[in-house]
Structure 1
Amino acid sequence: MAQATSLKHPKGLKFLFLSEMWERFGYYLMIGIFTLYLKDVKAGFAMTEAESADLYGTFIALVFLTPFLGGLIADRYLGYAKSIIMGGLMMGVGYCLMGVHNLAALYVAMTLVILGNGFFKPNISTLLGNIYSTPEYQDKKDDGYNIFYMGINVGAFICNFFGAALYILLGWEYAFLAAGIGMFIGVVVFISGLKHYRAFDIKKGVQEGDMSFTRITMLILAPAILAGIVGWILPQKLLGHALVGSNSTDAFIFACIPVIYFYSTLYFKANKIEKRPIAALLTIFMVVILFWAVFKQNGSALNTWADRYTDREVSNPTAKQIFSGLSLSQNVTYQKDSIALYDDAFRLQKNNGVVMKEYNYPPYFKNVPSEKLPAEGAEIELWATNLTQSINPAWVIILTPLIVAFFTWLRRRDKEPSTATKIIFGVFVSAISVLVMVAAVYAGNNGSEKVSVLWLMAGYGVITIGELLLSPMGLSLVSKLSPVRITSLMMGGWFLSTSIGNKLSGVLATLWDTYSDKANFFWVNFILLLSSAIIGFILLKWLNGIMKEMGIK
């Protein structure tokens, strides 16, 4: 009887799984085309590589910064279900609005997505942890988060095929509209399963010793906004240039200071029982920042690698029929002058002294060896760049059952490593994945020739193992270690570390064009991740000791 019970999962899991799947369908469809849209001169905003990477990094950083606020409001006032529904609706409207080709509309849309994710993301993860809080399901929590995480990646896998077909056939606005529709479907699914998790949607309220929301607004949120404004203006005024990369980066760094201060006060003001688990969580948050800094380059630097340096020609007749039939490819025409007259630094094309925007930025043929170039005016068929964004979620879908089975096998033999150990090994494995991209650079003679998409597939395959050891385990660890009264707030802390890493990913990606040797770009990423892993291994004994004290793994 006990064995049969241990194989079950709560009924609410499938609804949360499907809700998150559709939410991620919308989010990753949007992210997969975001920088491509920004750089499109003809139908986008004609941004440079650095400009698009900077805006991308700032956007995804803020998307994961607002869970701090969304988790706090849900914990004390709204509850999880209301917050999730409200956040989902805001994101859906935001995605649809991105299809309006206007810079002001784009920023409004981004703001809606940023705020909506703040209400949706931490609270659906916390609600999932709550439905596993009963003795019947407690030992299945890690597996539950892994299954939930696979739902995220089912949505992330299928969305890019829809996105590619829609922007090729109809235009960018229809792809963004599809993202919005996906989000609305997720909200409907969540509402339909309310009866299975309504009992776990319990507001914690304001506990004794908690800072009031008014006090948080005055001491944390208002200073964060003020600090952001100061960061945007002051370095530029004093130095004549941004302190780190760009004004938006400076603003983000300054704005994070009050929020980081708030989380540090949680430790210093905690009672003796809560102090050590909070310290362990804050340590994990710091260690994983560099993982996100590298991992989140999938939408910037690695998207650029797929676009410029990967052989995307559809030459096999069968493949051509498939890609053409699904509208996942488009024809480009070879024009010799688009290479000869192309100016990398300014993304401009010059013709008889007249400067013209390059519609097909970057020219696909620029790093094709001369002997492989087609005839002047000839067309070739290329599969859509954003399809590479489905490689990572495909690996997640393939590898998740294997990793869950592996740790189940270890658990039965009482040899399963702790959640903290899994996370640190996740950072280390992710560092190894960067070496695959170093090898890809060498294989393509530092970008002078295009390389097979198999390099990206291999790199994503390795980092996906690291991701599966880290990301769902992080959510599980927060659920296990957090004091009950601030669970959602600490979940917001996990997303804060993700936010800082996301912004750092944008900062790193803006440097792409400054590296003449692209291998050095990836070597820097490798060194950063390896350093983080080493720090994690040094602290691992202490982390495991805290978990053992609390009677958890």
Structure 2
Amino acid sequence: MNQNNKVKHPKGLTFLFLSEMWERFGYYLMIGIFTLYLKDVKAGFAMTEAEAADLYGTFIALVFLTPFLGGLIADRYFGYTKSIIIGGLMMGVGYCMMAIHSLPILYLSMTLVIIGNGFFKPNISTLLGNIYSTPEYEDKKDEGYNIFYMGINVGAFICNFFGAALYILLGWGYAFLAAGIGMFLGVGIFLYGMKHYRAFDVKKGMQQGDMSFLKIVMVILFPAVIAGVIGWVVPTQVLGHALIGSPSTDAFIFACIPVIYFYGSLLAKADKSEKRPIAALLTIFAVVILFWAVFKQNGSALNTWADRYTDRHVENPMAAKIFSGLSLSQQLTMAKDSVPLYDEAFRLQKADGKVLQEYNYPTYFKNVAPEKRLAEGTQIEVWATNISQSINPGWVILLTPLIVAFFTWLRKRNQEPTTATKIAFGLLISALSVLVMIGAVYSGGNGAEKVSVFWLMASYGVITIGELFLSPMGLSLVSKLSPVRITSLMMGGWFLATSIGNKLSGVLATLWDTYENKANFFWINFFLLLFSALVAFMLLKWLNGIMREKGIK
């Protein structure tokens, strides 16, 4: 054991770490500015809050749905390295195409990112596990994954500063191009280090008990596509409007029905030894959907909070110099007909909800406290909205070592909670993070005045603890409880739950403008998470019993 501790990590880790860091750099840079770009009246698509949130929710839902298929294709046909390269190039092209201001091109580029992520995301993690599969490195696998996970969050943390500088100084297109360049850098680094992991790119092929790819397409994908088309077309044709929210939401809900039915049939057809573990996993999948529904509002509702309700004014002269390249110089002007900017209606809309015209864009000054209002012609420095997207990965970098040390301490005392218990507490802690945002609403008089960024930082800090209790534990639980013959399908179930939660996050965010009292919006999120946590705690005895039967914690 002492000898193993002296062994360094495999050389391939460095290249996979950097490849993943640059891939996440591109993805989170794009996500950080996505809804801001869609809502931009001058240089974007002038979408309303609801339209932008709906498209964002659909996008991130599909991004998390394709890794299941990408992993299966790599396992059986392409191999991991080829899949990673294909996926990375598709994403890089997709990000660059977003620089073209055209709605059809935007949809095409989103499609490339969705498919590309399916090939890249699951397979680089699998390849990392493979290079640690030799006896020499086996004891360092967990540590290797921790280092790799830090790469994800380093990329997610730094990208928003680059994105802010580029879209402020040069425009949205250059920020999207930077995301693409980051992705291409990741692919280049991966290719450069190929000699260190080429030998570990071993296709598994079809295993005994596996569903064939054709059967997966015919039994799961084809019915889902047909149901999705029905959901998009039928409610609007029959009712004259979407059944729930928008045609895209209807399509997604309908498409999930045959997939959920399929997973239910796995439980119904399972033999006695497999039935309880599968039931436990499906229960966990259902419970965590609401976590993702709230957590993934970081790019929609919480981005809006940072943009409109957070005091982003940089008053300290030294700090203003630091932010000068990242800030947006906004000039206080007089509105139409000499009406002061503070009193002007900021967004004028058509009857159908489409933006007709917006005066005095952007809207930063709309809710400045009376005592902080500035004289006409005053210029101020404010930090860019998308920088708030770096708060969560920043907390992950800071808190991960503490959480790991905490559970290590409990393990030594034989008091470490079970995986299912960690997930339940993760849901409860996440619910508490929403209470912080409710406090922020009351602190600012329901948007009458801007509030400190520390409210947002505190909320992200609390939900990050919930994330670290829940997200890695979910993946661990799938690997522990899944019957060997359907492990990949059950991992796909975890991604399906994440995907549904992501879409639901967009649905919830579309309701932002319908709540005059923003506290009520956050109260809804709080009660959803609290309900999910209560269900998890009620099921703990049953879940822990199943885990004991399997001889796992």
- Quick one: distance in 2 between partners of 1:544 and 1:481? 11
Q: Is the 8 A contact 2:346 2:363 kept in 1?
A: no
In structure 2, the partner of 1:166 is 166
AA aligned opposite 2:320: K
In structure 1, the partner of 2:330 is 331
SS across alignment from 1:357? strand
Cα deviation digits, residues 142-199 of structure 1 (max 9, x gap) = 5554443322111110000000001111111111111111112222333344455445
Q: How does 1:430-509 map to 2 (within 5 A)?
A: 430-509=430-509
Distance 1:345 1:298, change over 3 A: farther
AA aligned opposite 2:331: V
Q: Is the 8 A contact 1:38 1:45 kept in 2?
A: yes
Shift of 1:284: 1.8
Distance 1:117 1:494, change over 3 A: same
Q: Is the 8 A contact 1:126 1:487 kept in 2?
A: no
Q: How does 1:24-63 map to 2 (within 5 A)?
A: 24-63=24-63
Shift of 1:386: 0.5
Distance 1:305 1:254, change over 3 A: same
**Which structure exhibits the higher relative contact order, with contacts defined as CA atoms closer than 8 Å and separated by 6 or more residues?**
1
Q: How does 1:420-439 map to 2 (within 5 A)?
A: 420-439=420-439
- Quick one: distance in 2 between partners of 1:485 and 1:384? 49
Distance 1:389 1:259, change over 3 A: same
Q: Is the 8 A contact 1:292 1:501 kept in 2?
A: yes
Distance 1:425 1:22, change over 3 A: same
Greater displacement, 44-53 / 16-25 = 16-25
Distance 1:257 1:131, change over 3 A: farther
Distance 1:505 1:332, change over 3 A: farther
SS across alignment from 2:329? strand
Q: Does 1:126 align with 2:151?
A: no
Shift of 1:228: 0.8
- Quick one: distance in 2 between partners of 1:342 and 1:88? 44
Q: How does 1:5-404 map to 2 (within 5 A)?
A: 5=5, 12-131=12-131, 144-198=144-198, 200-324=200-324, 326-336=325-335, 337=339, 338-342=341-345, 344=347, 346=349, 357-358=357-358, 361-404=361-404
Cα RMSD (Å) of the superposition? 2.5
Q: Is the 8 A contact 2:327 2:381 kept in 1?
A: no
Q: Is the 8 A contact 2:326 2:384 kept in 1?
A: no
Q: Is the 8 A contact 1:67 1:496 kept in 2?
A: no
Instruction: State, as a whole percentage, how many aligned pairs show the same letter.
Output: 77
Shift of 1:528: 0.3
Q: TM-score of the superposition, structure 2-length normalised?
A: 0.92
Distance 1:419 1:432, change over 3 A: same
AA aligned opposite 1:47: M
Q: Is the 8 A contact 1:422 1:470 kept in 2?
A: yes
AA aligned opposite 1:388: S
In structure 2, the partner of 1:522 is 522
- Quick one: distance in 1 between partners of 2:305 and 2:472? 27
Shift of 1:92: 0.9
Shift of 1:551: 3.3
- Quick one: distance in 2 between partners of 1:412 and 1:289? 32
Distance 1:86 1:286, change over 3 A: same
Greater displacement, 30-39 / 490-499 = 490-499
Q: TM-score of the superposition, structure 1-length normalised?
A: 0.92
Distance 1:10 1:287, change over 3 A: farther
Q: How does 1:534-549 map to 2 (within 5 A)?
A: 534-549=534-549
Shift of 1:26: 0.5
Greater displacement, 376-385 / 85-94 = 376-385
Distance 1:421 1:214, change over 3 A: same
Shift of 1:50: 0.7
Greater displacement, 358-367 / 85-94 = 358-367
- Quick one: distance in 2 between partners of 1:313 and 1:81? 46
Distance 1:489 1:125, change over 3 A: farther
Cα deviation digits, residues 315-353 of structure 1 (max 9, x gap) = 1101111101x33443333435444442557289xxxxx
Greater displacement, 501-510 / 416-425 = 416-425
Shift of 1:383: 1.2
Distance 1:545 1:136, change over 3 A: farther
- Quick one: distance in 2 between partners of 1:523 and 1:6? 51
- Quick one: distance in 2 between partners of 1:120 and 1:532? 31
AA aligned opposite 1:39: K
Shift of 1:481: 3.3
SS across alignment from 1:450? coil
Q: Is the 8 A contact 1:132 1:138 kept in 2?
A: yes
- Quick one: distance in 1 between partners of 2:203 and 2:484? 11
Greater displacement, 139-148 / 27-36 = 139-148
- Quick one: distance in 2 between partners of 1:122 and 1:462? 27
Q: Is the 8 A contact 1:126 1:488 kept in 2?
A: no
In structure 2, the partner of 1:351 is none
- Quick one: distance in 2 between partners of 1:138 and 1:548? 25
Shift of 1:140: 6.0
Cα deviation digits, residues 342-366 of structure 1 (max 9, x gap) = 2557289xxxxxx962265452111
Greater displacement, 249-258 / 402-411 = 402-411
Q: Is the 8 A contact 1:323 1:329 kept in 2?
A: no
SS across alignment from 1:382? coil
Gaps of at least 5 residues in structure 2 are none
- Quick one: distance in 2 between partners of 1:485 and 1:363? 55
Shift of 1:20: 1.9
Distance 1:106 1:361, change over 3 A: same
Greater displacement, 402-411 / 452-461 = 402-411
- Quick one: distance in 1 between partners of 2:388 and 2:435? 19
Distance 1:106 1:55, change over 3 A: same
- Quick one: distance in 1 between partners of 2:198 and 2:479? 18
AA aligned opposite 1:216: I
- Quick one: distance in 2 between partners of 1:345 and 1:285? 42
Q: Is the 8 A contact 1:146 1:404 kept in 2?
A: no
Q: Is the 8 A contact 1:90 1:116 kept in 2?
A: yes
SS across alignment from 1:45? coil
Shift of 1:15: 3.4
- Quick one: distance in 1 between partners of 2:381 and 2:220? 53
- Quick one: distance in 1 between partners of 2:13 and 2:178? 25
